[in-house]
Structure 1
Amino acid sequence: MKRTSPLPVIDCDVHNQFRSGRDLIPYLEEPWRSQAAQFGVPGAGLPYSSPIGNKRKDANPPGGGPVGSDPGYMLEHYVEPFNVEYALLCSDSIIGTSGFADADYAAAICRAYNDYLLAEWLPRSPKFRGYMCIGTQDPEQAVREIDRIGPHPDIVAVSVTGGSRMPYGQRFFHPIYEACERHGLPLVIHPGSEGSGIFNAPTAVGYVSNYLQWHTCLPQTFMAHLVSFLCEGVFEKYPQFKVVLCEGGVTWLPPLLWRLDKNYKALRSSVPWLKRMPSEYVRDNCFMTTQPIEEPNNPRHLESMFEMFDAENMLLFSSDYPHWDFDDPTKILQRLPEEKQRKIFSENARKLFRLP
C-alpha cells in the first residue's frame, strides 16, 4: 500500500563512531588514560572480515574521518532527508569491550564512551538520543554506571553485545536488569563481536569459516538469549523490564515460541517460577528491529510470518545506518497497511523509549 504522506521515523539503530580511539582519552580515568594515550584504545573486533567492507561509501564525511564519525554530516546525509524524527545512537564498537578479559578496563572504556556521547554527540541535535554502554563482565560496575548515566534525559536504553560467556537470562546478570527496570531503560542487544575475545564461539557448533556464515547464523545467538530470559524467569522477576533484540532478524521467532510453548506444557516443573506461557512474556516484554529484515522471493510469505506473532506491536524500525546493509525507510514494508507502518516506524519506539 503506497503511503499517502511521509511517515515520521524513529530509527532504533544508527551507528555513531569516533574519529579514532583517541577521542575517548580525555574522558578516561587514570591509570587507563595513560595506557590508552601510549598504546591506543583497544577495539573488540570480529574474528571475520567482510569482503565488501562494513560501511556505505557514500556516507564518508566530506571533511574526512571514518564513516559515522561526523554528527553534522549524519544529520545532513541521513537524518534530515529521510524524515527521521529521532536517531537512536548505538556504538557497536564499544559494546564489544565486554569481550575484554580485564573487566576494570572495559568498565572504564564504557564510562568514557558514555561521557563522550553526552558531551560530543547528543548536544548536536534534539533528534539524537543515545544508548549507554556497559561491560557485562562485572554486573556490579555495570549497575553503578546505569545509576550514574541512566537518569540523563537523552539516554533511552542500555546496550550490550550478543557475544557472551553465558546466556543472558542467568542470575549473574540479574542486577543489571533490576537497574534497567529501576530507571525505565530497555536493554538493547546488538551483534558485532560474537566469537571474539573471551566470548564463546559464534554458533552452537563452533567457529564458522567466513563472514557470510557468521552473519547468516546470528539468529542462533538471539534465540539462545531469548529462551534463557524466558526460562530463567527474568520477566516474572522484573515485569517492567524490556528487551530489544536488535539486528538479528525476525522470522525465526514464531517457530521458536511454538517449540518452547509446547515443551513448557510438559516440562513446566523445571521452571516453577513461570506463571504464564513463555510466548506471553515475549508479547509483553520483548521487541525486535526490522533490519536486516528477511526478504523472501514471495513477499506474501513475509506477511504471513508477521501474522504469526504480534509484529505490528513488537517491531521497531532500524536502518543500521551507515552500514553496508542499510535499509531505506522510504522503501521497506510498503505492502503493510499504513496504520501498521506507522506503529513500526515510530509509535512503538516512541512508547518504549518514552520519546516526546
Structure 2
Amino acid sequence: MHATTTTATTIVDTDIHNEVLRQEDLLPYLPEAWHRQWMTAGTGIGMPYYSPVGVLRRDADPGNGGVPGSDPGVIVRDHLDRYGFRYGILNWGRALEMPIHPDPDYGNAVVSAHNEYMADAWLPADPRFRGSIVVNHADPQAAANEIDRMAGRPGFVQAIMCSAARLPFGQRCYHPIYEAAERNGLPVAIHPGTEGRGVSGAPTPSGYPTRYMEWHNILPANYMTHVNSLVCEGVFEKFPGLKFVCIEGGVSWLPALMWRMDKNYKGLRSSAPWLKKPPSEYIKERVYFTTQPIEEPGMPEHLHSILDMAGIEDRVMYSSDYPHWDFDPPNVVASAIPRAIRSKVMGGNAMELYRLE
C-alpha cells in the first residue's frame, strides 16, 4: 500500500462510486420479469444537462469495456492503494436513480439486485471495501424491508438514497425508513445528482436551470430543504438513535441555515412542540457532512471560520467522489482543513460513525 501524502494516520473515503461492469451481470440477481427492461433501458432515467467536462474521469477508464468505477481491481489499485485509504465506502452510481423512476416495483427490484451484487462481487474484493444499502425511498415500506434484509450482511455500514424526492425527507411517509435504520444501527445517507430528473420535482423552487453549471451550483439548496425538514418535523426526536449523512452537499450553507432556524424557533416553537432544543443542536449532534466538493474560498481561512461557526468538527468526513470529474484527492482536502481537526475529518469521524476497525 502506498504511503499517504497527508498527515492523518487513518484516511477513510466516504464516497466512492461503483458500477456494474456489464449490464448482464445484474441479471442473476434480478427477477426474470425485469430482465428485458433492464437490458433495454437500464435505470431509465436520463440526464437533461450537458457537462462539457463529462461526469466520469477519463483517466479512470478500466480499459475492459466498462465505465469508470466498474472494476473492483482498478479501484483498489488506482484509488485505495494509491492514497493509502484504510477504508472506502462504496455508494452505487446509477442505481441511486431508482427512487425517481415512475415504476416503484421496478425500482425496488433494481436496488435489491444491486445490493446483492454488492455483497457478492464487490465487498469480498478487498477487505477495505464497505458498502451502502441503496434503497428506493419512493416506496418507504419496501425501503425499510430492504434495510432489514441486507443490514446483517457483512460489510454494509449505511443505507443510502438519492436526494431528489417529491417530498422533503422529514415528512412522515419516510419514517419507516428511519425506523428500520435505527433498528439496525445504520446511518441514512443521501447523495445528489438526480435533482430535476425522473419523477422528482424541479431542482430549484423557481423551476429548471438552463445549464449544467447552474444546476450543479445550486444542489446544496436541496440539502438545506431536507435538513430543515428532518429537524422541524421532529425526526431526530422520534428516532433518537438515527444519524443522517449529507454526502456531496457542501458545508458553507450550514451556519446561515442554523442561525435562521434558531432565530425562528424562538418565536415559532409552538408550531413544532416536539422540539426540545434549538434546531442547530440537532444538526450538530445527528447530521454528518462530507467534504467533496469542498468549498474553495479565495482566502482558505474563511473555510476554517465556516467550520468553526457551524460547530461540526466531529461531523465532517473526507470524501473523494471517485471517479467523478470533480474528484478531490485526500492531500488537497487535508491541506484545506484546520490542522486541529484534520485527523477527525480525514478518518476519525468516519471510523466512529461507521463503527469501523
TM category, shorter = over 0.9
The answer to whether the aligner puts 1:12 opposite 2:11 as a matched pair is: no
User: Mapping of 1:113-152 within 5 angstroms?
Assistant: 113-152=114-153
- For 1:196, the equivalent position in structure 2 comes to 197
Give the Å deviation of 1:282: 0.7
- For 2:87, the equivalent position in structure 1 comes to 86
Tell me which moved more, 107-116 or 333-342: 333-342
- For 2:32, the equivalent position in structure 1 comes to 30
Secondary structure of residue in 1 paired with 2:289: strand
Give the Å deviation of 1:49: 1.8
Give the Å deviation of 1:46: 2.6
- For 1:311, the equivalent position in structure 2 comes to 312
Unaligned runs of at least 5 residues, structure 1: none
Distance in 2, Cα, partners of 1:342 & 1:212:
32
TM-score (ref. length: structure 2): 0.96
Give the Å deviation of 1:5: 4.4
User: Mapping of 1:1-356 within 5 angstroms?
Assistant: 5=7, 7-37=9-39, 39-334=40-335, 336-356=337-357
TM-score (ref. length: structure 1): 0.96
For the 8 Å contact 1:95–1:133, the answer to whether it is kept is yes
For the 8 Å contact 1:92–1:192, the answer to whether it is kept is no
Give the Å deviation of 1:56: 1.3
Give the Å deviation of 1:24: 1.4
Distance in 1, Cα, partners of 2:225 & 2:38:
35
Distance in 2, Cα, partners of 1:107 & 1:187:
17
CA RMSD of aligned residues (A): 1.4
Give the Å deviation of 1:4: 8.0
Q: In structure 2, do the counterparts of structure 1 residues 254 and 337 end up closer, same or farther at CA, with 3 Å as the change threshold? A: closer
Total equivalences in the alignment: 353
Secondary structure of residue in 2 paired with 1:330: helix
Give the Å deviation of 1:340: 1.1
Distance in 1, Cα, partners of 2:337 & 2:295:
15
Distance in 1, Cα, partners of 2:141 & 2:189:
19
Distance in 2, Cα, partners of 1:63 & 1:176:
37
**Residue identity in the other structure for 1:312:** E
Distance in 2, Cα, partners of 1:105 & 1:115:
16
Q: In structure 2, do the counterparts of structure 1 residues 227 and 337 end up closer, same or farther at CA, with 3 Å as the change threshold? A: closer
Tell me which moved more, 19-28 or 293-302: 19-28
Distance in 1, Cα, partners of 2:135 & 2:250:
24
Secondary structure of residue in 2 paired with 1:11: strand
Give the Å deviation of 1:40: 4.0
Q: In structure 2, do the counterparts of structure 1 residues 261 and 151 end up closer, same or farther at CA, with 3 Å as the change threshold? A: same
Give the Å deviation of 1:204: 1.2
Q: In structure 2, do the counterparts of structure 1 residues 239 and 98 end up closer, same or farther at CA, with 3 Å as the change threshold? A: same
Distance in 2, Cα, partners of 1:166 & 1:68:
31
Give the Å deviation of 1:18: 1.5
Give the Å deviation of 1:57: 1.3
Unaligned runs of at least 5 residues, structure 2: none
Q: In structure 2, do the counterparts of structure 1 residues 4 and 322 end up closer, same or farther at CA, with 3 Å as the change threshold? A: closer
Distance in 2, Cα, partners of 1:26 & 1:41:
15
Distance in 1, Cα, partners of 2:93 & 2:214:
20
Secondary structure of residue in 2 paired with 1:84: coil
Distance in 1, Cα, partners of 2:264 & 2:41:
49
**Residue identity in the other structure for 1:141:** A
Give the Å deviation of 1:34: 4.4
Give the Å deviation of 1:35: 3.6
For the 8 Å contact 2:96–2:134, the answer to whether it is kept is yes
Secondary structure of residue in 2 paired with 1:207: coil
For the 8 Å contact 1:45–1:93, the answer to whether it is kept is no
- Runs (4+) of structure 1 exceeding 6 A deviation are none
| 1:277-325, Cα deviation, whole Å (9 max, x unpaired) | 1011111110000000110111111111111022321100000011111
**Residue identity in the other structure for 2:258:** L
**Residue identity in the other structure for 2:293:** P
For the 8 Å contact 2:43–2:94, the answer to whether it is kept is no
Distance in 1, Cα, partners of 2:299 & 2:141:
48
Distance in 2, Cα, partners of 1:4 & 1:92:
27
